[in-house]
Amino acid sequence: MATKLSVLDLSPIPQGSTPGEALNNSLDLAQHAESLGYNRYWVAEHHSMRGIASAATSVVIGYLAAGTSTIRVGAGGIMLPNHSPLVIAEQFGTLASLYPDRIDLGLGRAPGTDQVTSQALRRTLNGSSDDFPRDVVELQQYFKPADKHQRVIAVPGEGTNVPLWILGSSLFGAQLAAMLGLPFAFASHFAPQQMMQALEIYRDRFKPSAQLKQPYVMLGFNICAADTVEEAQYLRSSSLQSFLNLRKGTPGQLPPPVANFEESMAPQDRAVLAQIGSCSAVGTIVEVEQGMAEFIRQTDADELMLVSSIFDHQKRKYAFDVAAKAGQQFAS
């Protein structure tokens, strides 16, 4: 079975850089990914984080889609508790009208931020993650041709049939995706603990739908590739520092790499990072190919969503060069 490769981009803002530079780098990387044959390019909604420039996700998607021509562009994802389904239907209906058959809409149940920022986004917390299944169904309805008695219509949006994905890092998303017959993307790149159980639930309980006849799984996978293992480990230290800072409640801009970072870590930090190591490949094309192959063997993933936050933009592009070459064995 062929396994496709795609890119998840948080539009990281390196220390000393600006959001504008980060977004321009995202476009450059999207164009590069398109030239390498990657299947899709997703950006994610996060708020009140100085190191992430993709908060206005639908706006960023429009920028990336305008600068590319064939690669699918989408949200990985939109955090639906932050928005009314109608507004998202209008935004993505607009994108689908401008860039037909190229727009994806991945939906997440978490707010993608803290409670204070959630309050600022919605002004009221009447909407919550408990409403997520109902909001997904409402959003689906807006993308279909409107019923003659339907009083609220998404324009643009109606009839665009934007493909929806359910995102998750727990069993809830797997259950919902299976029930609705939607493709499922699991955030194994940062929360792999329940991955195998979620995959089993999704595949066992999947009900075919108008959008999808058979289960389809995409899994997050971290890569950091370079010409030597030592360089790859050095470059990876930026994303490891960033991950630990986030877990400690002190997120910031993407820090520069540090030599021998993993050897100098405290034991408790090492334990935190060990969780994501099972869904990562670090090194040359040999290590990346082996890591991806073993991960696909274990999970039977239909698609890998590759994640790589590297301080130097050109080295980040090169990492995706290496991953594309490593993935050629899975493409046929």
173-194 tens-digit pLDDT: 999 999 999 999 999 998 899 9
Output the DSSP codes for 135-163. Answer: HHHHHHHHHSPPPTT-S---TTTTT--PP
**DSSP H stretches of helix in the chain:** 19-36, 57-66, 85-98, 115-122, 132-143, 171-180, 195-205, 229-247, 267-277, 285-299, 313-326
pLDDT score at 125: 54
Q: Is the pLDDT of residue 267 over 90?
A: no
pLDDT score at 128: 54
pLDDT score at 332: 53
Could you give the CA distance from residue 141 to residue 38 in angstroms, rounded to a whole number?
30
For the chain, the average pLDDT equals 93
Residue-range definition of the domain harbouring residue 79: 4-328
CA-based torsion, 68, 23, 94, 163: positive or negative: positive
Could you give the CA distance from residue 45 to residue 56 in angstroms, rounded to a whole number?
7
Angle between the N-to-C axes of helices 57-66 and 19-36, in degrees from 0 to 180, rounded to the nearest 10: 50
**pLDDT of 286-313, one tens digit each?**
999 999 999 999 999 999 999 999 999 9
Amino acid sitting at position 244: L
pLDDT score at 262: 82
Q: What is the mean pLDDT of residues 195-207?
A: 98
Check which CATH number belongs to the domain holding 87 and give it.
3.20.20.30
What are the structure tokens assigned to 48, written together? 């009140």
Q: What is the mean pLDDT of residues 269-285?
A: 86
3-state secondary structure of 318: helix
**pLDDT of 18-69, one tens digit each?**
999 999 999 999 999 999 999 999 999 998 899 999 999 999 999 999 999 9
**pLDDT of 101-136, one tens digit each?**
999 999 999 765 667 777 777 655 555 557 899 999
Share of the chain above pLDDT 70, in %: 95
Residues 35, 225, 259, CA angle at the centre, nearest 5°? 140
Could you give the CA distance from residue 173 to residue 181 in angstroms, rounded to a whole number?
12
Q: Do 83 and 148 meet the contact criterion of CB atoms below 8 Å apart?
A: no
How does residue 230 score in pLDDT terms, banded at 50, 70 and 90?
Answer: very high
Neighbouring CB atoms inside 10 A of 15's CB total 13
Q: Is the pLDDT of residue 265 over 80?
A: yes
Could you give the CA distance from residue 240 to residue 87 in angstroms, rounded to a whole number?
35
Could you give the CA distance from residue 204 to residue 278 in angstroms, rounded to a whole number?
24
φ/ψ (deg, to 5) at 144: -85, 165
Neighbouring CB atoms inside 10 A of 223's CB total 27
* Between residues 331 and 197, the one the model is more confident about: 197
Rg (CA), the chain: 19
Overall number of domains in the chain: 1
Least confident of 4-13, 76-85, 213-222, 274-283: 274-283
Q: What is the DSSP letter of 108?
A: E
Distant-in-sequence, close-in-space partners of 97: CB < 8 Å, separation ≥ 6: 156, 160
Least confident of 13-17, 137-141, 225-229, 242-246: 242-246
pLDDT score at 113: 64
How does residue 331 score in pLDDT terms, banded at 50, 70 and 90?
Answer: low
pLDDT score at 330: 78
Could you give the CA distance from residue 82 to residue 229 in angstroms, rounded to a whole number?
41
Amino acid sitting at position 325: K
